[in-house]
Amino acid sequence: MLVKFKPITPGLRGTVLVSKKDLSKEKSYKTLTKKFNSTGGRNNQGRITSRRMGGGVKRKYRLIDFKRSKNNILGEIIRNEYDPNRTAFISLVKYEDGDLRYIIAPRDIKIGEKIISGDNVAIKNGNCLPIENIPVGTNIHNIELKPGAGAQLVRSAGSSAQIVSKEQPYVQIKLVSGEIRHINKKCRATIGEVSNSDQKNIKLGKAGRKRYLGYRPKVRGVVMNPVDHPHGGGEGRTSGGRDPVTPWGVSTKGKKTRRNKKTDTFIIRRKKK
């Protein structure tokens, strides 16, 4: 659910945020929390290697159970929480053996609901099982790329993938981007969509709120001087006069940024343009 504010200040006039009234106001569970240091985009020599990073509000990291390795043990949702390190909400799960773990909260998960992980569990929101045992057409998230390695795909707010077909030894998965790829049938996935689907509709309202998130301003090359950027200089406003490049002269026009070529054989159809 989205929240709008009365325009009592210029920053609040256009602000639209996600409501957190249904989330727990308690502090994160201590044994599942560790310190999280910000780099500010600097390496071990103190030099900036990633621009436009810095500042931001201090955070603590919540340890998320991406492997869902508690097999055939019922877990109960104790509370839903906000996680400053990700767009999705998280849920604290208490298992029957007393163990507590954080998971990425599925959409519409309620406090007191039971979830379970295993090879032959029910097809129910929040349950985790191998892809080979999930019916075709089911929406899933938290998908593994290697069996037992933990979820790597479809973890951000409001996202879900769909099982298209099954063929030995792979299952065809359609991802949020429109890409269809093969994934090992033994890999696990969680049933349902990821929570906080309204994340895409928020409006921060002011530059300061972007700074809280750890982002610094981005300055366009065309407004710089020639000494600072290849696009800089010129009389009046110009659009660069050349194909777009980085500050070091490397062309970015039509440049492919995907580096992993080893898994190309698993991609059946590329993402939509």
Beta-strand pair 151-153/90-95:
unpaired
**CA–CA distance, 221 with 10 (Å, rounded to integer):** 29
Question: What's the CA dihedral at 129, 112, 139, 185 to 10 degrees?
Answer: -10
**What number is the average pLDDT over the span 20-36?**
95
Beta-strand pair 188-191/139-141:
antiparallel
- Joined tokens for residue 158: 């409001």
The correct CATH number of 220-264 out of 4.10.950.10, 3.50.50.60, 3.40.50.720, 3.30.465.10 is 4.10.950.10
Beta-strand pair 161-167/170-174:
antiparallel
Percent of the residues in the chain that have a pLDDT greater than 90, as a whole number: 87
pTM (2 d.p.): 0.89
**CA–CA distance, 212 with 105 (Å, rounded to integer):** 24
**CA–CA distance, 19 with 96 (Å, rounded to integer):** 31
**DSSP code per residue over the chain:** -EEE---SSHHHHT-EEE--TTS--SPPPGGGEEEE---TTB-TTS-BSSTTB-----EEEE-B-SS---BT--EEEEEEE--TTSSS-EEEEEETTS-EEEEEPBTT--TT-EE-BSSS----TT-EEEGGGSPTT-EEESEESSTTS-EEES-STT--EEEEEEETTEEEEE-TTS-EEEEETT-EEEES-BS-GGGGG-B--SHHHHHHTTB-----GGGS-TTT-TT---SSS---SS--B-TTS-B-TT-------TTGGGEEEPPP-
Q: Is pLDDT of 18 > 70?
A: yes
Domains of the chain, residue spans: 2-200, 220-264
Measured on CA atoms in the order 225, 227, 229, 231, is the torsion positive or negative?
A: positive
Q: Give phi and psi for 223, each to the nearest 5.
A: -100, 5
Lowest mean pLDDT among 12-16, 32-36, 93-97, 258-262: 258-262
Position 249: which residue type? G
The predicted-structure confidence for 123-165, as pLDDT tens digits, reads as follows 999 999 999 999 999 999 999 999 999 999 999 999 999 999 9
Query: Domain spanning 2-200 has what CATH number?
Result: 2.40.50.140
**CA–CA distance, 208 with 119 (Å, rounded to integer):** 47
Confirm if 221 and 229 have CB atoms less than 8 A apart: yes
- Geometric angle at alpha carbon 166, from 162 and 167, rounded to 5°: 145
The predicted-structure confidence for 80-105, as pLDDT tens digits, reads as follows 999 999 999 999 999 999 999 999 99
| CB neighbour list of residue 39: distance below 8 Å, 6 or more residues apart | 50, 53
pLDDT at 5: 94
pLDDT at 148: 93
Position 194: which residue type? V
